[in-house]
Amino acid sequence: MAHPQAAARIKPGSYFAQDARADHGTRLITLRQDMIQIERALNGMKMRVHVPAQIYTGVTLTDCDGPDGKTYEIKLSHRDPELSVLLETAPERQEAENLRLEWAAFFSRPVLDSDLSVLNVSAQKKPAFLPRRRCMTMVAKRRPRRAMSRKPGNRENLSIVRRDEREIICYE
């Protein structure tokens, strides 16, 4: 793990990042130690997603070949690639390694080798914190508000069909 003073150099804040699917090709990312907020517009629909930092699998380092030569990207990786966040880029490997350790200490997430190891780690174990799922069974069993004041019907009498009788329904 990184030295505690190294994590003090990283400050939470907001920045714009490239997003191919967003309307204007950018999204606003706000970093905090406990949460990452992602804002973007998709087909005119504005959306804001708050993701707890504990949900992310870890901090990864990948090398990329670009027009300026080889660069190294430090990412906060998530099981869903849309939620992965590019934290920084560095031109040198040693500098990128140091930055990766600082970011891992800042978010209290593990240091992972590459994006491939993220897939293996997420398949093996679940993160310590998972958001609470809503229980839909209670909502499905509940009767509508108007029907709550009336007694439930007797289903046994509804199934009886008598010969030569008509059902009279009056809506007035």
pLDDT mean over 129-152: 61
Report the CATH number at residue 21. Answer: 2.30.29
Cβ neighbour number for residue 43 with a 10 Å cutoff: 7
Q: Is residue 168 part of a domain?
A: no
Confidence tier at 1 by pLDDT (50, 70, 90)? very low
For the residues 14-42, what does the mean pLDDT come to?
A: 89
Using a pLDDT cut of 70, give the percent of the chain over it: 63
Angle at 82 between CA 80 and CA 88, to 5 degrees: 105
Q: Could you tell me if residue 76 is inside a domain?
A: yes
Q: Residue 150 class from Cβ within 10 Å (0-12 exposed, 13-18 middle, 19+ buried)?
A: exposed
Provide the whole-model pTM. 0.59
Between 92 and 141, the higher pLDDT residue:
92
Q: How many domains does the chain have?
A: 1
Report the chain's mean pLDDT, rounded to a whole number: 77
> In this predicted model, which residue has the larger pLDDT, 121 or 64?
64
**Per-residue confidence (pLDDT) for residue 117, from 0 to 100:** 43
User: Is 131 domain-assigned?
Assistant: no
**Domain contains 114:** yes
Q: In this structure, is residue 164 part of a structural domain?
A: no
pLDDT at 163: 73
- Residue 70, in any domain of the structure: yes
Give the Cα-Cα-Cα angle 62, 63, 69 (nearest 5 degrees): 155
pLDDT at 30: 92
Determine the structural domain holding residue 19 and report its residue range. 4-124
Residue 161 located in a structural domain: no
